[in-house]
A and B are shown apart, each in its own frame.
Chain A
Amino acid sequence: MKRFRGFVVKEFYHIFRDYRTLLILFGMPAVQLLLFGYVLTNEIKDAKIAIYDPSKDVATRKITDKILSSGYFILEKNLNSVSEIEPVFRQGEVKLALVFETGFAGKLEKTGTARIQIIGDASDPNTANMLVNYATGIITNYLVSMNAKQVPSQIIPEVRMMYNGELKGVYMFVPGLMAMLLMLISALMTSLSITREKELGTMELLLVSPLRPSQIIIGKVFPYVFLSFVDACIILGLGNAVFGVPIRGSVALLLLESFLFITMALSLGILISSMTSSQQVAMLISLVVLMLPTILLSGFIFPVENMPWILQILCYCMPPKYYITIIKSIMLQGNGIVYVWRETLILAGFTSLFLTLSIKKFNVRLA
């Protein structure tokens, strides 16, 4: 036990004397969270639009007012003819154009229908789609409010978004980021710290010493378990304080699940380090083999349900997917273990698989 303590103390010296390690450990979570939280928002505000309104009557003016006062759009240009539409898009300033037909109010009055064309700039499909939806929504609202005086019976859907009322993107990013960063720190850092000993030749010395291989592994891994835990708390705390991401479920359960995930990632790190003895290769493997799937195939950014079946199968083999599901469920829906035991079990399965594999592989290396 005393030997083991000395070993862990040494590991902490390594970590705290290397400012790059410290930066990755503590700078990255904070920076990433702030970046993702502020930059990657799905909401669009103040998009510039152009309007061609040959009618200029009561109805078109009211619709224009509604659109411009919504907060989503600002008027960039009033067009004088249809032929001006294409040039304003080409200049790239305008994201959306509204075209009213002539005699708009009159037609609406007489026939009950009048047409508005909404033109989006689909060179950026997501933005175009969203803006078109916003505009359509506003116009529909206007129609409903007009008809309310005339038509007695109508169905008005009342929408309520559960668990994330304002549809904040950051609610989604915090769980995803937790998975990504814990994976990165745990796997990358342990694989680097073990391969560094191999590169330096100190690993041989450790193996010659009376320390058992399992003691060496646990000693190397222990500091990172601790530090990853600190990181998890930083992300949760920042997410809560800066972005108001709630933790509705039990914090203890959340940390316990995180511990399980961290252990899984650490054993992956050991596994990587047993495959290579160079820090650079270890870094490359960690980044490419672990990070990309964590970002792309875990449901962090792209919904798994929309992927082709072959990728979906792949997604189900990704441990981060389960972890993200679990913490979303605990944080946002306030669920307890009753709702996430299945995912927890799968995650525990992954953990024991990788842990066994990595210890076996490490022992084999000695032969």
Chain B
Amino acid sequence: MTDPENIIIVKDLVKSFGSFTANDHLTFSVRRGEIFGFLGANGAGKTTTIKILCGLSYPTSGELSVAGFDIYTQREKVKRNIGYMSQRFSLYDDLTVFENIRFYGGIYGLSRKEIDARSKSLMERLGFENSRNKLIRDIPLGWKQKLAFSVAILHNPKIVFLDEPTGGVDPITRRQFWDMIYEAAHRGITVFVTTHYMDEAEYCDRVSIMVDGRIAAMDTPDNLKLQFGAPSMNDVFIKLARG
């Protein structure tokens, strides 16, 4: 299922837990290099989908290809080509900034030289030069989040999955975080991001909105606003969710 245009292809994805269906016949694709927003209320099934795409969970049925590899048979290759950042910033509190970078670089098989070079440029970009040897537990939340994102794309993945990356941070930090997302997209990394902040939806190239395990709408933010005659994504979402 290699496709020059689409980097993620999902056909008829179903995931059920007993009698509950979290993902009900999802079909969508994500284009190379775009920022794809995966929106929905809490419990709409966003995290389930992202976990399946990352290989953390098996689908009940459906055809899936991520970064050009089949999710059932080429799991290891999928894993090499993706980055992941979860709702919790997933850094080790008792390790220093550099030790975290070295660890994650190491498990993705980067050489010592690459790790040193990348961590140096990363810390310059973030303005972290003086915090190289600080423990993660001693740095502010906003910094942790930026660092977690940088670590998730340290190995230059083709796609990075962000599962509600901006939960619990202030609007200014959120804005700065989105600047980093743009920068990553500029470097050619496809960004797949879930969120329930509708203002963030405006920053995406395309969005899909999930309601009760199904995709209720999928298009660019501008087209969606036109289609639903709503002034903002927030209004689009409310119209959809109330059905």
Contacts and interface: CB of A to CB of B under 8 A. Distances in A.
Nearest to B79: A210
Given A204-B90, A205-B86, A209-B79, A366 B99 contact: no
Interface string B93-122: 111000100111011110000000000000
Counting contact residues on chain B (CB < 8 A from A), the size range is: 20 to 34
Task: Say what secondary structure dominates the interface of chain B.
Answer: loop
Interface of B: 54-58, 76, 79-80, 82, 84, 86-95, 99, 102-104, 106-109
Interface in A214-241: none
Contacts of A366: 56-58
Interface residues of A, number: 24
Contacts of B76: 210
Contact of B92 (A14, A210, A211, A367): A14
Kindly name the residue among B82, B94, B99 whose own CB sees the greatest number of chain A CB atoms within 10 A: B94
A236 B16 CA distance: 54
A367 B71 CA distance: 13
Interface string A93-131: 000000000000000000000000000000000000000
Given A2-B106, A209-B107, A10 B92 contact: yes
Contacts of A5: 106
A126 B57 CA distance: 59
A207 B84 CA distance: 10
Nearest 3 pairs of A and B residues by beta carbon: A6-B106, A201-B88, A208-B84
Contacts of A367: 57-58
Interface string A11-24: 00110011000000
B106 A3 contact: yes
A7 B106 contact: yes
Given A2-B106, A6-B103, A207-B56, A13 B95 contact: yes
A208 B148 CA distance: 14
Given A3-B106, A208-B82, A10 B90 contact: no
A210 B84 CA distance: 12
Contact of A17 (B94, B106, B109): B94
Nearest to A204: B86
A206 interface: yes
A13 B86 contact: no
Contact of B103 (A2, A10, A18, A207): A10
